[in-house]
Structure 1
Amino acid sequence: MVTARSLERFLPDEAATTQLGEDLAMAVLPGDVFLLDGDLGAGKSTLARGLIRTLAGDPAHEVPSPTFTLVQSYDTPVAVHHFDLYRLSSSDELEELGFDEAVSSGVALVEWPERAAEAMPDTSLRIAFQHEGDGRRVTITGDGPAFGRIARSLAMRDFLTASGWGEAHRARFIGDASARAYETVTLEGHAPLVLMNSPRMVLGPPVRDGKPYAEIAHTAQTVAAFAAIDKALASGGVTVPGIVAQDLDQGFLLLEHLGEGAFLDPDGKPVAARYAAAAELLAMIHGKHWNNRLEVAPGVVHQVPPFDRDALMIEVDLLLAWYVPAVTGAPASDALRDGYHAAWNAAFDRLADKQYGLVLRDYHSPNIIWRSDRLGHDRLGIVDFQDALIGPVAYDVASLAMDARVTVSPDIERSTVDAYVAARRAAGGFDEAAFREAYAIMAAQRNSKILGIFVRLDRRDGKPQYLRHLPRIRDYLHRSLSHPALAELRDFYRDNRLIEEF
């Protein structure tokens, strides 16, 4: 039998109860059920209003009591269904209220759950209110992922309190393809900040030589990597979020908000001048020497990993692992795998004498803030770089000029790369021919990897929206394979129909 866990909070007043609802809202997912237990006037409805208004993004959102209707539903980003079962005569009536459907599609807040206790899911979390002096003591009891999410959200509030931002309002901001998530926090009289939630990575099963994928690919496992690269880039003249407060053990950072200026135009299309500016910033970054041993805090050092052969190969293998089975309906054969590795090893051999340096790894439109009111490199705010490596710098240029989330025309790709080349040549000591060869290799490597990742996001993670990007990525791969240095690799892809459509 699994033993339920519990945590407590003392709520001195109504504002604290509303804030707890806000903290719960930052962690909920469809399927969560909260059983609100307490006497009349204990604060159950206040908590529910705080949660619903936070999800609605409106502190004045109308939240009527469901006492007479028995259920009120809200079309918020995560749907909420607020049940009041006080007038329920039998748990059989839950079916008429659409309880099961509500739980499957959103979050259920249930007041007076004891009226249908036997019908409540085993995964429910119980939130019990007890009077204590002029306030209330709340005990949250449960187990499983939902409890873990709630506990972490409350730990984030404790982090804000320790940082002097305990009274701040939290709002969902953005997430990414990893376990990281971001919130905006606002406090009257202060500029808004960004709260980064970056739990320690859970490593998957071994995939090669007894090591999990993330270890071979050198994916950042803790928030210390972000903090280290952030401080290094800032000292090198790159506009990155300043770190206001940090808890490296728990994986929390309170960051400067660089604004919400979109790097793309209002229609989501690339702007050539902005891509050129981003390329010139890359040229500046790649022209510097960066230490690979970075101190994050006293006694805490981040060693920037190498973009070595094993990492390069495990990434391109994603095409074999996910894309090939999706296209052919069968796993890649041993013969295909051996030929693929031989062709790629020959390509990677050509990188030996190319320029190496700090590779930010995800340098593309979603991670660049355009600050039109600033000048020079400060117009570009860079927000995602924790997976940085020391490797072939051409990778970052390919990441930008063949932006995976937006269609970059051959003309804008060309002008972006030309802007980078011009800036590097102006700084002196730049081998353009060697760079363009490395650019083709790394563009082919990155786009092969992304074909696998986007299929994996569909097949493994239930995110079919990524499949719409595949035609673009195939086009990018065709472009990169056109370089004469990749003739052998191009022939292998063509002969084995590795970039066929679904």
Structure 2
Amino acid sequence: MTGRRMTGHDRSDARRAFLDQAGWGDATATPVAGDASTRLYERLTLDGKTAILMDAPPGPDGPPIEGGKSYSAIVHLAEDMRPFAAIARHLTAHGFSAPELYALDLDQGFILLEDLGDGVFAQRIAAGDSEEALYGEAVDVLAALHALPVPGPLPCGDAGASHTVPRFDDLAMLTEARLLPAWYARLATGRDLDADAQAAFDAAWHAVFPALSDMPPALVLRDYHSPNLLAIEGRSGLARIGLIDFQDALIAPGAYDVVSLLQDARRTIAPDLEARLLARYEAARTVQGTSFDAEAFRAAYAIMGAQRNTKIIGIFARLLLRDGKPHYLAHIPRLADYLARDLAHPALAPVARWYEAHMPLDIIRTEINPDSVTR
């Protein structure tokens, strides 16, 4: 979320008052690495105990872009932390390891959270843990989560407020995908796509979205990938995988979270490992006694993968051109490789033809030197 962070003494005073009331006013604070948003995280230490402070002031992500709505409203990004609190409670109630909520001030955007540790997947794998074992456990979590009924309104924890998880509708999916023609085309070619190419882009996606209706809806956490997954020492089974950064959760085909995990934007997942983990998910869903349709799932996986990778390529271009953050460009060739896997599925034929005509994947695979880009 951008363009709304309170600065100066007011925010500092509000933080101090929140921690004092929560009993953590005397804690020492250490910054914790965050994500591409402007949320801030700190690890607090007090009397040998630790907790995580999430600092996320409420507000929309930018100005209106269509129908009087901001980008965040159209694509259903959380504009305050009430969705986070609601989803966290829902997950823990079903035995998943979301952080316990110690204290809340949702009006100002402060949450004091359980510290789930430092076992982020990339660090655990670098330390010698099995990549396939960790990702396999994360797949098992998804299979269990997607077997649950779609939740109704979820309590947030303040004054009786509730959160209804939004549906990932066609407009939201298309608006996200449009980030590629809006930002990456400008980055790669120095100019915007013409109106005919833009119209063809929209038409291609509208042609493939109907296939998603063959998959039953599920709660998807949306950013279910390695930076947001932790291996928790001392826990076992589904509870061993720690879950964070789920405030943007949606009701959508479960394939969305599976592709978020197995086509990781920041880590290369080899095609053979992706195939084995896909088979593991399908096997788990099949034995649950549901009417799981593997063929429909594979089509949804390809569509959701193409949509997600298209969006992220656009986001990474925007992070350079708008926000001056160049290091995300290094991930774009990996995303192009994932995108090629997705576009090979027959369900993506219209989108594949658009890429061939207007943005060949060989262009996207080419590394861009950020120093050569004019912003």
- State whether TM-score is above 0.5: yes
Residue 381 of structure 1 aligns to a residue in which SS? strand
The answer on whether the counterparts of 1:181 and 1:196 sit within 8 Å (CA) in structure 2 is yes
| Alignment-mate amino acid for residue 309 of structure 2 | N
Contact 2:222/2:248, CA 8 A, preserved across alignment? yes
SS of structure 1 residue aligned to 2:234: coil
The residue matched to 2:324 in structure 1 has which SS? coil
SS in 2 for 1:407: coil
Secondary structure of 2:7 counterpart? helix
Which of these residues, 119, 130, 133, is aligned with residue 273 of structure 1? 133
Question: In 1, distance between residues paired with 2:230 and 2:164?
Answer: 27
Identity of aligned residues (%): 46
Q: Which residue number corresponds to residue 372 of structure 2?
A: none
Corresponding residue for residue 201 of structure 1 = 59
Which is richer in helix?
Answer: 2
Give the AA of the match of 1:430.
F
Q: 2:152 aligns with which of 288, 292, 297?
A: 292
Give me the whole-angstrom Cα distance separating, in 1, the residues matched to 2:288 and 2:192: 48
Q: Provide the residue aligned with 1:351 in structure 2.
A: 212
**1:377 and 1:461 mapped to 2: Cα distance?**
38
1:155 equivalent in alignment to 2:14 = yes
Instruction: Summarize deviations over 1:244-284 as a string: whole Å, max 9, x none.
Output: 11111111111110111131211799801111110110000
Matched, 1:318 2:152: no
Aligned pairs (5 A) from 1:72-83: none
Query: Whole-Å Cα distance in 2 between the matches of residues 251 and 376 of structure 1?
Result: 32
Equivalent in the alignment of 1:219? 77
Which of 479, 486, 494 lines up with 2:356 in the alignment?
494
Letter paired with 1:275: Y
Alignment of 1:45-444 (within 5 A): 148-189=7-48, 191-264=49-122, 265-266=125-126, 271-297=131-157, 298-428=159-289, 429-444=291-306
CA contact (8 A) 2:24 2:46 kept: yes
Aligned match for 2:316, one of 454, 464, 467: 454
Structure 2: unaligned runs, 5 residues or longer: 369-375
Could you say what secondary structure the match of 2:96 adopts? coil
Give the CA deviation at 1:153.
Answer: 2.4
Aligned to 1:469: 331
* CA distance, structure 2, for counterparts of residue 270 and residue 345 of structure 1: 40
Q: Secondary structure at the match of 2:73?
A: helix
Quote the Cα distance in structure 1 between the aligned partners of 2:139 and 2:91. 16
Q: Is the 8 A contact 1:347 1:441 kept in 2?
A: yes
Aligned-residue offset at 1:237: 1.4
Match for 1:459: what amino acid? L
CA deviation after TM superposition for structure 1 residue 205, in Å: 1.7
Aligned to 1:254, the other structure's residue is in SS state strand
Cα shift at 1:391: 1.2
Shift of 1:445: 0.3
Distance 1:283 1:352 in 2: 19
More strand by share: 1
**CA distance 1:146–1:358, change in 2 (3 Å):** closer
TM-aligned CA deviation for residue 444 of structure 1: 0.3
CA distance in 1, matches of 2:297, 2:9: 49
What secondary structure is seen at the aligned counterpart in 2 of 1:244?
strand
Aligned counterparts of 1:498 and 1:391: Cα–Cα separation in 2: 29
Aligned match of 1:482: 344
1:210 Cα offset (Å): 2.3
The residue number in structure 2 matching 1:52 is none
1:218-253 Cα offsets, whole Å, 9 max, x none, are 100011110001001111111110001111111111
Q: Deviations over 1:327-362 (max 9, x none)?
A: 122111110011111111111011122121111000
Alignment partners' CA distance in 1, 2:69 and 2:120: 38
Greater RCO (Cα-Cα under 8 Å, separation 6 or more): 2
Distance 1:417 1:149, change over 3 A: farther
The answer to whether the 8 A contact 1:292-1:305 is kept is no
The secondary structure found in structure 1 opposite 2:90 is helix
Deviation at 1:152, TM superposition (A): 1.2
Measured against aligned partners, the alpha-carbon deviations of 1:45-97 in whole angstroms (never above 9, x if no partner) come to xxxxxxxxxxxxxxxxxxxxxxxxxxxxxxxxxxxxxxxxxxxxxxxxxxxxx
User: Which residue identity does 2:143 align to in structure 1?
Assistant: A
Quick one: distance in 2 between partners of 1:334 and 1:246? Answer: 47
Secondary structure of residue in 1 paired with 2:156: strand
Q: 1:284 to 1:149 in 2, by over 3 A?
A: farther
Distance (Å, rounded) in 1 between the aligned partners of 2:156 and 2:173: 27
Report which of the two structures shows the higher radius of gyration computed on alpha carbons: 1
Tell me, in whole angstroms, the C-alpha distance in 1 between the residues paired with 2:147 and 2:253. Answer: 13
Measured in 2, the distance between the counterparts of 1:345 and 1:221 equals 27
CA distance, structure 2, for counterparts of residue 450 and residue 203 of structure 1: 17
Given that residues 343 and 488 in structure 1 are in contact (C-alpha distance below 8 angstroms), is that contact kept between their aligned partners in structure 2? yes
Q: 2:307 — aligned with what?
A: 445
Task: Please tell me whether the aligned partners of residues 195 and 255 of structure 1 are also in contact (alpha carbons under 8 angstroms).
Answer: yes
Give the whole-Å Cα distance in 2 for the aligned partners of 1:276 and 1:448.
25
Aligned residue pair count: 357
| Deviation readout 1:287-315 (Å, 9 max, x if unpaired) | 00132311113321112111011100000
How far is 1:497 from its partner? 2.5
Give the partner amino acid of 1:195: L
Note if contact 2:150-2:217 (Cα within 8 Å) is conserved in structure 1. no
> Is the contact made by 2:102 and 2:112 (CA closer than 8 Å) also made in structure 1?
yes
Q: Compared with structure 1, are the counterparts of its residues 282 and 147 closer, same or farther at alpha carbon in structure 2 (3 Å cutoff)?
A: closer
Does the 8 Å CA contact 2:263/2:338 hold for their aligned counterparts? Answer: yes
SS at match of 1:351: helix
